[in-house]
Every structure is written in C-alpha cells, then in structure tokens.
Amino acid sequence: RGKETEYCLSAVPLGGYVKMMGEENPLEGGGSGTVDPAKSFSLKPLPSRFLIVFAGPGMNFVLAVAIFAALYMIMGRPVLPSTLAPIREGGPAATAGLKTGDRVTAVDGIPVAHWDDLMSAVQASGGETRQITYVRDGREQRTALTPARIKVRDIFGDEREAWDIGARPFPVKIGEVVPGEPASKAGLRVGDTVVALEGAQVLSFDELAEQIQKRAGKPTELTIERDGRTLTVTVVPQAVRDRGPSGQEVEIGRIGIRPVPVTLAFVRSNPIAAVGQGVLKTWDVTVVTTVGLWKIVTRRLSASNIGGPIQIAQVAGEQAKQGLANLAFFTAAISVNLAVLNLLPVP
C-alpha cells in the first residue's frame, strides 16, 4: 500500500487491482481519513477520470496495434492469388464468360493483386455491374460482371447477406482421408477433387462441410474428379455430437476428410501501411469481442466460450508450438479482449 494508492495481487481469486485515493468504500474501511482534493480520483473532473480509467485499456489497444503492425512488417499478411479455380455453373462469373484459370487483374480499372482485393471490390459493389479485367492464356481481356446476393454465416453462426461472384481461389481437393471413417470406406482418396454433392455443385470445403453436417446417417452421392476422370461415390456421414455456437449439443454428420493445405504467399507492408493495417485488425477483433460478449449476456452464445487463466495458458502453449507468429497474434487478440473487458462497468 502506497501513500495514496492501494495495490493488490491475489491468488484466490486469481487477479489483482489498483485502488486510488478517492475510491475507498466506507463500508469496507481502510480509508486514510483525509482526502487531498488535488489527488483524489473521485474529485477529479469527468474528463480526467475518463482518461485515468481508459489508460489501462488504452495501452492494451496500443499493444495490440503494435503487435499486429510488427507481424505485417516482419511476416507479412497471407494472401491468395486472384486466379479463379472452381466456377459455379450459371453464376455471375460463368455468365460473364470467365473460366477456371482466369486471373483477375483489375476491377473498374483499380488494380487487383490478390483474392482479398477482388473480394473487397465485390463487397463494395453493392450488387452493381463492374468491369473486370483478367488474363487468359497470356492475353488481357475485359468483361462485365454483376455480383449476386447470397446468405453467409459469420463466426457466431448468424446469417448475413453478402455479394458473390460464384468462384473460389482453389478447388475442393482432399488432402487427408481418415482411416476407418465413412470417406475411407466409400473409397475416397487423397487428391480427389469434390465437384458436387447430390448433383449440386460445391465450390469450397466450407460449403461441402455444411451440407455433410446436415446429412448424418443419410446416403450421400458425391461427384469427384480423379486422374482426369469423373466418378460418383456414395458415402454415409457418421452422426456425431458436437456443440453449436450457443453451446447446445447438436447432431451433425462427418465423413472424415480434410482439405489440402492451402499454400499462401506473404506480402510484407511498409511501416506506415503496417500501422494502418494493425489499427484495422485491432478494430476487427474489438468488434468480434464486443459482439461475442453481447451474445453471451443475451444467452445467444454459451458462457463456456469465455476462457479463464488456465485455458488461456493452454491455448498460448499450443500457439507457441505452432510458431512465434501464432503466439504473437494470440497475444494481440488477448490484449484486445482484456481492453474490452476492462472498459465494462463491472468489478
């Protein structure tokens, strides 16, 4: 205990606090008896009290921005090429005459270097027609493309609307088949590319998994490509119990396959751009954290999603095994979480 500030670290419950002059609770006792108006927290003007309270969370935000910025400068941000792989039949890209292997280089004259650039331009289109510049067989060509409105699910399982071109940057290629699981029993192999489920085209592994999860115990016909041939196999997804976003147990189907690891390129940013990207990433994590906490309070998300010190330490250990970059990213995310929690009006 200092002259004007009380510091505490406790093992049970694990944590601590700092109590400044003017924050004493008369019912708890322990006050100094005399209060210096110039140093008392409770007698400070509102702007000063706000800055004092925000100082801790503010430094958490600053730390997160610094870590993210350092990652963007040293490691770079992961990117995918803007080359179209599977294209949905009858979708916007197909209607515009685009084909598998075409590489998009610009949207409305604005250069596109990576897949994220293309998707950002598509989402910003609002569904309006855009002029697409692409390269096919070494020749630059142009076409008009009108994105389609679709429904997607966010990380909390909520549906939202988005704009889509009906194409993805890589095929639905199987990278691992778990022995003894339904996929293995059905004859699926590593290297097979899934192109359709029950006759409906699939463009991504997420799309395939979503449909498989709905078909527990039901014979499911998969159309695959193998060594230049198109084959059809029937697989029966195994029913397993899993937890949904709100924490309830649900029954879903699984067949025991994993995708081919995607090879990412990393683009390093200059210091100024890295700081800007760090701010944007910190804001994104802040929004996700805030929305997640609100869903927990309103019981739309299970409180089991909140991790305590032991769980945080376990996850940190797992991230450290995967590399310093993963650990740094996790540390930045935890820093944002702490900032948001410390801004809440709870003890």
Using one digit for the tens of pLDDT, what is the confidence trace for 210-238? 999 999 999 999 999 999 999 999 999 99
Query: Residue 310: inside a domain, yes or no?
Result: yes
From residue 124, alpha-carbon distances to 80, 82, 146, 288 in Å are 19, 17, 12, 21
Q: Are residues 288 and 346 in the same domain?
A: yes
Contacts of 61 (CB under 8 A, 6+ apart): 282, 286, 335, 336, 339
Q: Are residues 178 and 219 in the same domain?
A: yes
**Whole-number mean pLDDT of the chain?**
85
Q: Are residues 213 and 254 in the same domain?
A: yes
CA nearest 229: which of 201, 169, 185, 189? 189
Q: Are residues 249 and 181 in the same domain?
A: yes
Query: Residue 224: inside a domain, yes or no?
Result: yes
Contacts of 121 (CB under 8 A, 6+ apart): 107, 108, 110, 112, 130
Query: Residue 169: inside a domain, yes or no?
Result: no
Q: Are residues 40 and 101 in the same domain?
A: no
Q: Are residues 288 and 342 in the same domain?
A: yes
Query: Residue 283: inside a domain, yes or no?
Result: yes
- Judged against a pLDDT cut of 60, whether residue 12 lies above it is answered with no
Which helix (H) or strand (E) element contains residue 52?
helix 46-74
With left for phi above 0 and alpha for psi between -120 and 50, is residue 102 left, alpha or beta? beta
Q: Determine what percent of the chain is predicted with pLDDT higher than 70.
A: 79
**Structural domain count of the chain:** 4
Q: Retrieve residue 228's tokens.
A: 């230049």
Could you tell me which residue, 50 or 1, shows the higher pLDDT? 50
The residue from 135, 164, 193 where one domain ends is 164
pLDDT in tens, 150-181: 988 777 777 889 999 999 999 999 999 999 99
Contacts of 183 (CB under 8 A, 6+ apart): 174, 177, 235, 255, 256, 257
pLDDT in tens, 94-147: 999 999 999 999 999 999 999 999 999 999 999 999 999 999 999 999 999 999
- Judged against a pLDDT cut of 80, whether residue 280 lies above it is answered with yes
* Residue 321 confidence (pLDDT): 60
* Residue 293 confidence (pLDDT): 84
Angstrom distance (rounded) from CA 216 to CA 207: 16
When mean pLDDT is compared across 41-50, 126-135, 151-160, 337-346, the lowest value belongs to 41-50
- Mean of the pLDDT values across residues 301-308? 60
DSSP bridge pairs for 136: 139
Q: Are residues 274 and 337 in the same domain?
A: yes
Q: Quick one: CA torsion of 205, 210, 211, 216, rounded to 10 degrees?
A: 120
Query: Residue 82: inside a domain, yes or no?
Result: no
Which helix (H) or strand (E) element contains residue 261?
none
When mean pLDDT is compared across 25-39, 272-286, 316-330, the lowest value belongs to 25-39
Q: Are residues 53 and 113 in the same domain?
A: no
* Residue 204 confidence (pLDDT): 92
The residue from 164, 194, 217 where one domain ends is 164
The model's confidence at residue 310, banded by pLDDT at 50, 70 and 90, is very low
* Residue 320 confidence (pLDDT): 57
Q: Are 155 and 146 in contact (CB under 8 A)?
A: no
Q: Are 91 and 167 in contact (CB under 8 A)?
A: yes
Query: Residue 83: inside a domain, yes or no?
Result: no
Angstrom distance (rounded) from CA 300 to CA 133: 44
Query: Residue 84: inside a domain, yes or no?
Result: no
The residue from 205, 230, 259 where one domain ends is 259
* Residue 326 confidence (pLDDT): 82
Q: Are residues 32 and 8 in the same domain?
A: yes
Q: Are 202 and 166 in contact (CB under 8 A)?
A: no
CA nearest 277: which of 119, 10, 64? 64
* Residue 292 confidence (pLDDT): 83
* Residue 144 confidence (pLDDT): 97
Parent domain of 341 = 45-76+269-347
* Residue 242 confidence (pLDDT): 81
Query: Residue 304: inside a domain, yes or no?
Result: yes
